[in-house]
Amino acid sequence: MLKTFDEVIERACQYGPKRLSVAVSQAEDVMTAVEKARQEGLVNGILVGDKEETISVCKKLNIDTKNYEFINQKDKTEAARAAVKLVSEKKADLLMKGMLGTARILKAVLDKEIGLRTQRLLSHAYILKLKNYDRLLTMTDGAMNIAPNLEQKAQILQNVIEFCHSLEIKEPKIAILAAVELVNPNMQATIDAACLSKMVERGQITGGIVDGPLAFDNAISKKAALHKGIQSQVSGEVDAVLVPEIESGNIFAKSLVYLANAEPAGVLLGTNSPVVLVSRSDTAISKVRSIALGILMSIHNNG
Ligand code: COD
């Protein structure tokens, strides 16, 4: 089980370098990360975007452009599509979002002809390292599916279980989060959580140990759960949490990053090749961690 980002990067280095297609490369934070990943031996980059601007960014950062392949495309939507196409045509192994909005790259990834869709629902996972938690904590979905229904949550759950397998966690422990532990007919999140737990019990979702509804305190702390008289196989040992909708997930991750100094990474799940979906505000090292996770996913065939 890989418990830290250092372990993730170390393991990913064993499989590198992979071919990374960068959608809209002309930004310092993007190129700093790609160059760092290249120097680590994780990737060789194909830079899709405004070539002139990307070269001037490289010069400013003292990056040797001879180490890169360039595809000139000034328009961001077209650059996103060209970067995605490189991956779908197997000319690159993984895709990274550069300097463009999330929705724009997601639309290219979802494109029926050139995209990276599978039969699966695509979902997003934030992976967080917290100082006071003994493992990586994955949270889904705070960035792609806006208000998933039960059927979609079941697929988001299966996606995250398989993602955890690529972190070498044999039977990941997943908490389905809600505001309370009891099923409350007025709180849809608790009904969905109970159904998901039952679906796991019946073998409709496989590969992990799942419990819910659980409030976050009882998911993350065994002590808090026991104090409330809750016996759960996942309490205090959760590898991943599934949140009810995009807002709670997005606020959850950003609160931990900005108030608790959590180190974040982000990837898309359910695609046929890994997609590294980082925020523009993420640091270069955070982007490198996401690239390393993408490489592990490609090895485990779940992205
Ligand atoms: N998985 C698989 N297929 C999907 C998914 C999905 N998650 N979402 C849509 N599709 C398919 C649909 O079945 C359809 O065939 C096609 O894609 C288009 O569907 P629409 O019209 O519902 O999708 P879009 O293009 O309008 O929107 C899809 C987005 C992912 C862009 C949209 O859901 C979105 O904006 N999500 C939030 C992104 C965001 O702003 N995140 C904040 C990040 S910090």
Per-residue pLDDT reduced to its tens digit, 218-240: 999 999 999 999 999 999 999 99
Q: Which two tokens stand for residue 214?
A: 């659980």
Note whether 30 and 139 are same-domain residues: no
- Mean pLDDT of the region 18-41: 96
In a domain, 266, yes or no: no
Note whether 129 and 252 are same-domain residues: yes
Query: At residue 63, does pLDDT exceed 60?
Result: yes
102 Cβ inside 6 Å of ligand 1: yes
Query: At residue 82, does pLDDT exceed 90?
Result: yes
pLDDT band at 5 (very low <50, low <70, confident <90, very high): very high
Query: At residue 302, does pLDDT exceed 60?
Result: no
105 Cβ inside 6 Å of ligand 1: no
The CA distance from 115 to 113, in Å, is 6
Residue with the bigger pLDDT between 135 and 103: it is 135
CA 196 to ligand 1 center in whole angstroms: 23
Query: At residue 303, does pLDDT exceed 90?
Result: no
Query: At residue 88, does pLDDT exceed 60?
Result: yes
- Mean pLDDT of the region 29-50: 96
Among the ranges given (49-53, 98-102, 210-214), the one the predictor scored with the smallest mean pLDDT: 98-102
- Decide: helix, strand or coil at residue 55: helix
pLDDT band at 95 (very low <50, low <70, confident <90, very high): very high
- Mean pLDDT of the region 24-51: 96
Note whether 167 and 247 are same-domain residues: yes
Q: Which domain covers residue 75, as residue numbers?
A: 5-117+271-301
Atom number, ligand 1, closest to the C-alpha of residue 122: 1
Note whether 79 and 9 are same-domain residues: yes
Query: What is the pLDDT, as a whole number, of residue 301?
Result: 74
Closest C-alpha to ligand 1, atom 17: 110
Assign residue 209 the CATH number of its domain: 3.40.718.10
pLDDT band at 33 (very low <50, low <70, confident <90, very high): very high
pLDDT band at 16 (very low <50, low <70, confident <90, very high): confident
Q: Render pLDDT for 108-141 as a digit per residue (tens, 0 to 9).
A: 999 999 999 999 999 999 999 999 999 999 999 9
Q: CB–CB of 13/38 below 8 Å?
A: no
144 Cβ inside 6 Å of ligand 1: yes
| Best mutation site among 106, 119, 122, 146 for ligand 1 pocket (most ligand atoms within 8 Å of CB) | 106
Note whether 135 and 246 are same-domain residues: yes
Query: At residue 265, does pLDDT exceed 80?
Result: yes
Atom number, ligand 1, closest to the C-alpha of residue 123: 7
Q: Which two tokens stand for residue 290?
A: 């996401």
Note whether 40 and 141 are same-domain residues: no
Assign residue 284 the CATH number of its domain: 3.40.50.10950
In a domain, 264, yes or no: no
Q: What is the mean pLDDT of the chain?
A: 96
Query: At residue 270, does pLDDT exceed 60?
Result: yes
Note whether 100 and 130 are same-domain residues: no
Give the CA count within 13 Å in the CB-facing half-sphere of 65.
15
33 Cβ inside 6 Å of ligand 1: no
- Decide: helix, strand or coil at residue 127: strand
- Mean pLDDT of the region 173-196: 98
CA 79 to ligand 1 center in whole angstroms: 19
Q: Render pLDDT for 155-164 as a digit per residue (tens, 0 to 9).
A: 999 999 999 9
Residue located via tokens 């003292």: 62
Domain count, the chain: 2
State the alpha helices, DSSP H only, in the chain: 5-13, 28-39, 51-60, 76-88, 102-110, 150-166, 188-201, 216-220, 222-227, 246-260, 284-299
Give kind and range of the element (H or E) at residue 301: none
The CA distance from 139 to 214, in Å, is 14
Query: What is the pLDDT, as a whole number, of residue 220?
Result: 97
Atom number, ligand 1, closest to the C-alpha of residue 112: 15
